[in-house]
Amino acid sequence: LNNWQVVDQHHLLKLFTFPDFKSALAFVNQIGVLAEEENHHPNINFTWGKVEVSIWTHKIEGLHENDFIFASKIDAITT
């Protein structure tokens, strides 16, 4: 994983930056497709040029192997 932070031993967090609002929103939609495919739904906090993604497993209120796999798939979108 690239630059994901483990926060409070509870979730993975990463900030992605973009040159404008449109490309940030496009990335949000790509994450949305992945989330529906995997039935794993992150928290997405975004605004002009910035998308902050948080991932955890709600059932255990913490981190599971699947969260790390999901994070790597999000990284794969951007490369």
**Where do contacts with its own copies occur on this chain (CB under 8 A)?**
21-22, 25, 28-29, 32, 35-36, 41-48
To the nearest 5 percent, what fractions of the chain are helix, strand and coil?
A: 45, 30, 25
Q: Which is nearer to its own copies, 35 or 73 (CB)?
A: 35
- Least distance from its own copies to the Cβ atom of residue 47, Å: 4
Cβ nearer to its own copies, comparing 28 with 75: 28
User: Whole-angstrom Cα distance, residue 45 to residue 53?
Assistant: 6
Q: Which residue has the tokens 């605004």?
A: 47
Q: Smallest distance, Å, CB 43 to its own copies?
A: 4
